[in-house]
Every structure is written in C-alpha cells, then in structure tokens.
Structure 1
Amino acid sequence: MILFGIVYSIFNGTIDDVNTAMFEASTQAVQLIIGFIAIFTFWLGMMEIAKRAGLLDQLTRLTRPLLRKIFPDLSPSDPALGFIMSNLTANFFGLGNAATPFGLKAMSALQEQNPNKNSPSRSMVTFLCLNTAALTLFPTTVISLRMSHGALDAMDIVIPAFLATCGSCITALLLDRLFWSFSKRRKKV
C-alpha cells in the first residue's frame, strides 16, 4: 500500500506532500515513543519495586481464595497461581508488556499440568479469558496517547475505563463458565 501510494503520488504530482508527511509522521512517532517510554518506565519500575518488596507475593496470598474459585482445577500451592496473579496485577496497572512474560509463564505452568497436551485445560481457557478481558485501573497506553496529544485531563478516562474493564471481566468469566458447562453436558451425552 505504501509503494502504491508513492507511485500514485509520483503520477499525481504530489510527491513533495508525501515526503513532508513522511517526515512529520516520523517526528510524531518518535515523540509518541518518548512519551510511552517515560510512563512505561515509571510503572515497570513500580512493579519491580512491588515485586522485590514482596507486595506481589502478599497480593497473591490475599487473592488466593478468589483465584481458587476462579481456577478450581488448581491446587492451593500451585505455582501457576503466582504467575496468574502477577499477570493480572500488571494488566490491572495497564502494563500489558509487563504482563506478557507472566502470562507466558502461567500458560507454561498450566500446560505442564494439562493431561491432554493437544487441547487447552479448563484453567488455561479461563486464564486466557481473564487475560484478554484484562481488568484495568490505570490504562497507561491510552493515558500516554492522550498526554502526547495534549489532552486537557489525560486521566479523566480512568474511572470509565475501569468500569468498562469490570464489565468485560465479568462477561468473560460468565461466558467461560457458560461454555464450560455446555461442553461438560455435551461430553456426558
């Protein structure tokens, strides 16, 4: 598409406009990335401090009863629960990039316990639903975009985003349970 656009601009006589737009867009991209780096560095640093201070371990212990209800197939001492909680915590603070390694570790730990390696376990599907729906309090990427584009109050989306992600998580869990019960009934028949 880029090549087609450049060829078209040559025949159209607007190649100078294309060059100007390319340089302006690259400048804006660099400015956007610098804004992202500042916010992501701050929140990744906060996550690392929380991890080293043992806050994530404490949070995992506090939420273990809830996680046990969401993931009934896992034992209370399962290491996957720690990775799942770390992933959910990173997503909660809008750090999708920081959540990815925890999510991969959680899926690997869940796959090790999976009796049927060719299809996902119930816990794997539930985790995927939660990770995709991602309960988020502080959407750092959207706030970074709003700040870099000069929004008057870049933080005014925090409450609506939190409410929207609450709804998406509840919906994801309800659908997960609904489809699981359908598949369980189908296996009995």
Structure 2
Amino acid sequence: MCSIVESNIICIKKKAAEKVRPMVNIVWILLILIGLVVAAFNGKIEAVTQAALDNAKYAVELCFGLIGVYALWLGLMKVAEEAGLVKKVSQKMQGVMRFLFTDIPARHPAIGAITMNIIANMLGLGNAATPLGIKAMRELQELNPHKDRATDAMCMFLVINTSSVQLIPATVVALRSTAGSSNPTEIIGTVFIATVCSTAAGIIAAKILQRYY
C-alpha cells in the first residue's frame, strides 16, 4: 500500500514539474535572446560573452563555497535534533508558531526547521540560514495535499524568511567592516526597526490574503 501511495506522489510531482519546466525554459530563452539583441545593438557582444564566462566561473566557486556552510549547519541541525534542543526551542516558541502556522500539526519536524531558520536569520547569518530554510520547505511540502501549489504555511514562511527580523545583522556588519567602515555596527538599531516593520507588514498581509485565497 505504501509503495502505491509513494508511486502516486512521485507521478504527481513529475507531472507538476513537466508543466512548469517548459515555461521556465521559454523565459530563460527570451532573456538570453533579448540580452544578445541589446548587446548587438550597443556593440557589446564581447563584453556580454566575457561577463557570461566570468559569472559561470563565479557560480561554480559559489556552489563549492556553500557546500561547507550547508554541511556545517545541517549537521548542527541534526545534532540539535538528537540532543532535544530543537524540541525545547520549538516548545518555547509554540504559541507564536501556532499563530503564524495554523495548519502545521503540533510537534511536526517542520516547526523545528522553521524555528531554527528564523533564529539563524535573526542573528544575520545569511547563507547559513539557507539549508535550514530548504529543510523547512521540504517538511512543509510533505504536508502539502496539492504538490503543484504552495500552502498558506509555505507562503507565510516565505514572507517571514524574506523580511526576517534582524537582531544582529552579522553578515552586513562584516561586509561594512571589510569595506573599511569606521563604525560598522551603527546600522544595528536602524536595521532592527526596519525589519520589524517589514516582517509585521508581511505577516499582516499574508494573514489577510489567506482569508480570500
């Protein structure tokens, strides 16, 4: 019985991917063609070619650079799960999580992944929060009855992850310090106020739109 259900789920996912893939391919082809036409009119074909090669090299370097970060934080996430830390933190934030994500069952692994992602974002860890966000979305997809469209919980998580209250914008502070700023931490207060406002606006908008869509 389980194998039949799993095969049906796989078929649904493949059909959804087959519907989306042609449209994505068309968009990418149009973007490439438009870029080439504009470059040709401006006489900058060589610059476009060089930029493509440079960015392809950078993409590979970025992927290899992220492997270590992903491995580290996914490993820490697993250790935290086994030690019961994720469960304890999730319990402390249970009231907030239940308000934000009403359709996620209590004590579901998605709550722990979402909680850890929010904490990582609040500490301004940047790319370190990405693997936790991916794990959270995978857990939410397991609860999704319609695999080809996002649930309310997915939309809410995306809003919170994108706006992200920043207690300590560590990544930005580090970049400012590297760039030679005389006071790289002066943005902390402003960033906190701005991200609180953006997160509150996003949550309110998501809650209102959930009632209509």
Q: Residue 167 of structure 1: which of 197, 200, 207 is its match? A: 197
C-alpha deviation, 1:136, in angstroms: 1.1
Q: Residue 143 of structure 1: which of 153, 162, 173 is its match? A: 173
Cα distance in 2 between the residues matched to 1:54 and 1:144: 32
SS of 1:117's equivalent? coil
Alignment of 1:122-141 (within 5 A): 122-141=152-171
Greater RCO structure (CA 8 Å; 6+ sep): 1
Alignment of 1:1-189 (within 5 A): 3-4=46-47, 48=76, 51=80, 55-183=85-213
Name the aligned partner's letter for residue 88 of structure 1.
I
Please give the per-residue CA displacement for 1:34-65, whole angstroms capped at 9, x wherever unaligned.
xxx9xxx9xx89xx599487655432220111
SS of 2:145's equivalent? coil
Name the aligned partner's letter for residue 4 of structure 1.
A
Aligned residue number for residue 11 of structure 1: none
Name the aligned partner's letter for residue 47 of structure 2.
F
Cα distance in 2 between the residues matched to 1:146 and 1:120: 36
Cα distance in 2 between the residues matched to 1:157 and 1:56: 30
Cα distance in 2 between the residues matched to 1:148 and 1:57: 37
Name the aligned partner's letter for residue 170 of structure 1.
A
Aligned residue number for residue 10 of structure 1: none
Equivalenced residues, count: 148
For structure 1, the 5+ residue unaligned runs are 8-36, 184-189
Kindly report structure 1 stretches of 4+ aligned residues shifted beyond 2 Å.
1-5, 48-59
Aligned-pair identity in percent equals 34
Cα distance in 2 between the residues matched to 1:67 and 1:2: 51
C-alpha deviation, 1:145, in angstroms: 1.6
What TM-score do you get using the length of structure 1 for normalisation? Answer: 0.69
Name the aligned partner's letter for residue 120 of structure 2.
A
C-alpha deviation, 1:116, in angstroms: 0.8
Cα distance in 2 between the residues matched to 1:4 and 1:119: 39
Aligned residue number for residue 56 of structure 2: none
Cα distance in 2 between the residues matched to 1:93 and 1:2: 43
